[in-house]
């Protein structure tokens, strides 16, 4: 039988084997594509990730022949955490989204970035990343 005092508080998350977790991608995509995974991170069992910041940026490098919606988003499992979209066919049209705050992903959850381009032709530059702290549950 283990005897402990309930007067002792549990350590804060940053004192429970905390490590920094980041993931990012930057690059060009040419032509139309359906929803495509750009990167993903899976939270290990027995861990949590406190998502501290998310950054998304995209701009049109060359004009499409037929315009359509172009987007980039980061999701935790199914819910979208942050998104940006371009509906213009103008070169250098851009969209950006910065998210600062706290969202928690639990063991087994997936944090992933996706892009899509419903235009015909043209190319888009995508840049997106997140930073978080992983710690014991």
Q: Give the rounded percent of residues in the chain with a pLDDT score beyond 90.
A: 74
DSSP letters, 29-40, are EES-EEEEEEEE
Residue-wise pLDDT tens digits, 45-61: 999 999 999 999 999 99
Mean pLDDT (whole number) for 112-117: 94
For residue 41, give both structure tokens.
């991170």
Is residue 104 within 8 Å of 78, Cβ to Cβ? no
Q: Is the pLDDT of residue 1 over 80?
A: no
Of the candidate ranges 3-12, 58-67, 78-87, the one whose mean pLDDT is the lowest: 3-12
Residue-wise pLDDT tens digits, 83-104: 999 999 999 999 999 998 889 9
Mean pLDDT (whole number) for 5-9: 70
Residue 30, pLDDT score = 78
Q: Is 75 exposed, middle or buried, given 0-12, 13-18 or 19+ CB atoms closer than 10 A?
A: middle
Q: What CATH code is assigned to 23-136?
A: 2.60.120
- Pick the more confident residue, 10 or 68: 68
């Amino acid at each position: 039988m283990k005897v402990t005092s309930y007067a002792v508080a549990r350590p804060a998350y940053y004192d429970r084997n905390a490590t920094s977790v980041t993931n990012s991608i930057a690059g060009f995509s040419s032509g139309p594509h359906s929803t495509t995974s750009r990167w993903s991170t899976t939270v290990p069992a027995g861990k949590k990730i406190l998502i501290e910041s998310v950054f998304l940026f995209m701009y049109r490098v060359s004009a499409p022949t037929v315009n359509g919606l172009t987007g980039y988003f980061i999701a935790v499992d199914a819910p979208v955490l942050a998104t940006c979209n371009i509906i213009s066919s103008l070169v250098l049209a851009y969209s950006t989204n910065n998210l600062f705050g706290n969202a928690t992903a639990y063991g087994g959850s997936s944090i992933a970035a996706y892009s899509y381009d419903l235009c015909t032709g043209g190319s888009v530059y995508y840049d997106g990343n997140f930073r978080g702290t992983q710690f014991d549950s």
